[in-house]
């Protein structure tokens, strides 16, 4: 018998000795196998027929979500964590739960956002945020366009707002923006019709990172009140710290901020946090230790001693982690500077580190963000 695999063992063509015709075998995970004749003797034609049948059947197997269109979050943009109240934050967390389950399935494809157009507009480097928005959009059936801004007409002198107006004329549904300028997503949201998601604006805010961190904590601890969370390191330049302080304190956790005096901004006092300048005191009784990246690209002047000295004082290793609760977990938004703010072995220790879990939660929370914002916009008749 001749046999040919077309799609990772899910789709095969075979021809028995006593037959001229190619047969199709389609076996999707947890489904009964379907066997059918391609009614063709010619391999290329049989392949075309089999692939067409595979695409048609896969489409009918796409997940249809029942969604709640009466969200507690009513806006069409997500720009600042500081503007979110408890019910709004809980709305994003609640809608993410179905996506955590969905993302574990073998077939991860839904029609929910079919026909919607989403632009990733990253003016700063990114791995996690950009790719997780891309994965989230594609799993929900939307079309996602990654704009290569390093090769865009901004290099020819076009202003950022002109670029946004140009993209707005292509009728996008969502613009996901990362940019070094603080407040830029807010400005963009005022001149476009699309939903705008702030994927990081300078040292200001990164709301979807803080939401995914909250989702990671919720999954582990099932609660926020009564938790003591330490946020350690370069608070001054960290949009992740700002967004997390807002979201986690609104949810009822107590926040300790730890770092060298030069990396803790004065305005952090306005937020409800306890400030420590050494790890031993700051980590006492903490349930979670969230480390921050030293933002070398934003540091001007001498905010920190050399990296070795910084690691000795503020880098998290097993010894410093022992100052926290016995079963405390470690988080880091990434990318990490191993050996600068975190010990490499500890970062990879899955019994203590939630770093990979944070990335997994990032896809689920971003699926929920896209669902909520797009449905709110559709509801408003935009
Ligand atoms: N945490 C975070 O924003 O990572 P990226 O810079 O890789 O997107």
- pLDDT value at residue 301: 63
pLDDT band at 66 (very low <50, low <70, confident <90, very high): confident
* Cβ pair 92, 211 in contact under 8 A: yes
Of all protein residues, whose CA lies closest to atom 3 belonging to ligand 1?
Answer: 129
Q: Decide if pLDDT at 344 tops 90.
A: yes
Query: Token match 């018998």: residue?
Result: 1
Ligand 1, atom nearest to 130 Cα? 8
Position 224 confidence tier, pLDDT thresholds 50, 70, 90? very high
Q: Mean pLDDT throughout 48-64? A: 81
Using CA atoms, how far residue 208 sits from 22, 77, 89, 200, 214, in Å, is 50, 12, 11, 9, 10
Nearest Cα residue to 78 out of 368, 382, 355: 368
Q: Which atom of ligand 1 is nearest to the CA of 200?
A: 3
**Confidence at residue 30, expressed as pLDDT on a 0 to 100 scale:** 67
Helix (H, G, I), strand (E, B) or coil at 122: strand
User: Are 10 and 26 within 8 A, CB to CB?
Assistant: yes
- Please tell me if the CB atom of residue 335 comes closer than 6 angstroms to any atom of ligand 1: yes
Which atom of ligand 1 lies nearest, measured to the CA of 199?
3
Note the pLDDT of residue 317: 98
pTM of the predicted model as reported, rounded to 2 decimal places: 0.85
Q: In testing the pocket of ligand 1, which one of 334, 337, 358 has its CB within 8 Å of the most ligand atoms? A: 334
Residue 8 — very low, low, confident or very high, per pLDDT cuts 50/70/90? Answer: confident
Residue 37 is predicted with a pLDDT of 94
Q: Which of 95-109, 258-272, 310-324 has the highest mean pLDDT?
A: 310-324
Cβ pair 322, 343 in contact under 8 A? no
Cα of 334 vs centre of ligand 1, distance in Å, is: 6
Sorting pLDDT into bands at 50, 70 and 90, what band is 106? confident
DSSP secondary structure string, 300-350? -S-SS--HHHHHHHH-B-HHHHTTS-TT-EEE--S---BTTTB-HHHHT-T
The residue-averaged pLDDT of 178-205 equals 96
Residue 302 has pLDDT above 70, yes or no: no
What pLDDT is recorded for position 40? Answer: 94
256-290 confidence digits (pLDDT tens): 999 999 999 988 766 679 999 999 999 999 999 99
Mean pLDDT across the chain, nearest whole number?
92
Give me the percent of the chain exceeding a pLDDT of 90. Answer: 79
Higher pLDDT: 251 or 9? It is 251
Q: Is the CB of residue 126 below 6 angstroms from any atom belonging to ligand 1?
A: yes
Whole-number Å distance, alpha carbon 79 to ligand 1 midpoint, is 16
Contacting residues for 171 by C-beta, under 8 A, at least 6 apart: 117, 193
Reply yes or no on whether the pLDDT at 381 is more than 80: no
DSSP state of 8: T
Nearest CA to ligand 1 atom 1: 333
111 C-beta closer than 6 A to ligand 1? no
User: Residues 115, 145, 127, 333: is their CA dihedral positive or negative?
Assistant: negative
Res. 166: pLDDT tops 80:
yes
For residue 333 and ligand 1, the question of a CB distance below 6 A is answered with: yes
CB 334 less than 6 A from any atom of ligand 1: yes
Q: What per-residue confidence (pLDDT) applies to 152? A: 78
Q: What's the CA gap between 263 and 304, in Å, rounded? A: 8
pLDDT at 303 over 70: no
How confident is the model at residue 266, as a pLDDT? 81
Minimum-distance ligand 1 atom for the alpha carbon of 127: 7
Cα 156 to Cα 101, 149, 163, 167, 177: the distances in Å are 45, 12, 11, 16, 20
Cα separation, 28 vs 266, whole angstroms: 58
Q: If pLDDT is split at 50, 70 and 90, which confidence band does 297 have?
A: low
Could you give the C-alpha distances from 132 to 128, 142, 173, 370, in angstroms and in order? 6, 14, 18, 12
Classify residue 276 as left (phi > 0), alpha (psi -120 to 50) or beta: beta
CA count, 13 A, side-chain hemisphere, 315: 22
Helix (H) or strand (E) holding 211, with range, is helix 207-221
Whether residue 299 is predicted with pLDDT greater than 70 in this model: the reply is no
Nearest 5°: CA angle at 355, between 84 and 107? 85
Report which of residues 266 and 178 the model is more confident about: 178
Q: For residue 198, what are the CA distances in angstroms to 46, 128, 269, 288?
A: 48, 14, 24, 26
Residue of 123, 127, 210, 243 best suited for mutating to test ligand 1, as the one with most atoms within 8 Å of CB:
127
pLDDT at 227 over 90: yes
Confidence of residue 16 (pLDDT cuts 50, 70, 90): very high
**pLDDT at site 39:** 92
């Amino acid at each position: 018998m001749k046999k040919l695999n077309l799609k990772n063992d899910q789709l095969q063509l075979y021809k028995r000795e006593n037959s001229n015709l190619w047969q199709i075998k389609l076996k999707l995970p947890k489904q009964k196998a379907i066997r059918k004749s391609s009614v063709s003797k010619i391999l290329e034609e049989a392949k075309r027929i089999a692939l067409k049948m595979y695409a048609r059947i896969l489409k009918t197997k796409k997940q249809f979500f029942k969604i709640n269109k009466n969200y507690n979050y009513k806006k069409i943009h997500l720009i600042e964590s500081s503007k979110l109240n408890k019910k709004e934050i809980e709305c994003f967390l609640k809608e993410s739960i179905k996506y955590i389950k969905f993302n574990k399935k073998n077939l991860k494809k839904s029609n929910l956002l079919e026909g919607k157009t989403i632009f990733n507009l990253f003016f700063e480097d990114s791995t996690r945020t950009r790719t997780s928005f891309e994965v989230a959009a594609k799993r929900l059936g939307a079309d996602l366009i990654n704009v290569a801004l390093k090769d865009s007409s901004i290099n020819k002198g076009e202003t950022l707002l002109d670029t946004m107006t140009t993209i707005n004329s292509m009728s996008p549904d969502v613009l996901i923006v990362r940019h070094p300028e603080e407040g830029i997503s807010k400005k963009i949201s005022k001149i476009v019709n699309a939903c705008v998601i702030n994927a990081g604006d300078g040292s200001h805010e990164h709301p979807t990172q803080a939401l995914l961190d909250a989702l990671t904590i919720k999954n582990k601890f099932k609660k926020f009140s009564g938790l003591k969370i330490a946020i350690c390191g370069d608070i001054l330049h960290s949009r992740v710290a700002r967004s997390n302080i807002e979201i986690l304190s609104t949810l009822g956790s107590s926040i300790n901020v730890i770092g060298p005096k030069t990396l803790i901004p004065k305005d952090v006092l306005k937020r409800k946090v306890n400030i420590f300048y050494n790890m031993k005191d700051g980590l006492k009784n903490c349930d979670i230790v969230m480390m921050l990246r030293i933002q070398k690209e934003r540091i001007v002047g001498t905010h920190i001693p050399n990296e070795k000295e910084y690691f000795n004082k503020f880098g998290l290793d097993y010894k410093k982690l022992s100052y926290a609760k016995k079963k405390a977990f470690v988080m880091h938004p990434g990318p990490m500077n191993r050996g600068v703010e975190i010990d490499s072995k500890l970062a990879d220790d899955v019994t203590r580190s939630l770093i990979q879990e944070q990335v997994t939660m990032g896809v689920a929370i971003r699926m929920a963000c896209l669902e909520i914002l797009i449905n709110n916009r559709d509801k408003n008749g935009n």
